[in-house]
Amino acid sequence: MNEQRYASRIRQVLNHGLNDIPPAAARRLEAARHLALSRQKQEAPQLVLASTDNRLPWPMLLRSGVDFARVKPLLAIAALLAGMWLSFYWHSIQYVNEIEAVDSALLADDLPPEAFLDHEFIEWLKDDSSPH
């Protein structure tokens, strides 16, 4: 309701100064208005398929005039996110395998439990760059 009241108020203000416009300017404004209306694009009606679900098969999407210029960035973002997820997943698997190899070697060795209390041994385990 506020929008209608606001539009009515604007129309009143614009109509108030209508009588002060010279007739030649009013004719030019009217001609410009008609020209603008004639050049205005008329929106073509779009056909929409009626169905119970809103999903369309890919061939129907290709024929329905989907704007793939808008879809391409979304597909690129989805591919980037999928690639990042796969990269993180693969690196986490590699990290777990490395830790598993170290743990298996430690458990298979005849290492006394006191060795785990030695700080130098803990530092050696953290900074182990020797190949396994």
Instruction: Quickly count: other Cβ atoms within 10 Å of residue 8's Cβ.
Output: 10
Q: Cα separation of 2 and 7, whole Å?
A: 9
For the segment 44-59, the average pLDDT, to the nearest whole number, is: 58
The whole domain housing 3 covers 1-36
Q: Which residue has the higher pLDDT, 96 or 49?
A: 96
| Dist CA 16 CA 103 (whole Å) | 88
Least confident of 29-33, 89-93, 128-132: 128-132
Count: domains in the chain: 2
The pTM assigned to this predicted structure is 0.34
Establish if 130 belongs to a structural domain.
Answer: yes
Query: Is the pLDDT score of 92 beyond 90?
Result: yes
pLDDT mean over 27-31: 83
- For residue 121, being part of any structural domain is answered with yes
DSSP 41: P
- Token pair of 67 as six digits: 């704007």
Instruction: Write the CB contacts of 122 (distance below 8 Å, at least 6 apart in sequence).
Output: 116
Q: Which carries the bigger pLDDT value, residue 60 or residue 13?
A: 13
Averaged pLDDT score across all residues of the chain: 76
Q: Over 60: is that where the pLDDT of 54 sits?
A: no
pLDDT at 33: 75
Residue 81 — φ and ψ, nearest 5°? -65, -40
Task: Please report which confidence band the pLDDT of residue 59 belongs to, taking 50, 70 and 90 as the band edges.
Answer: low
Could you tell me if residue 43 is inside a domain? no
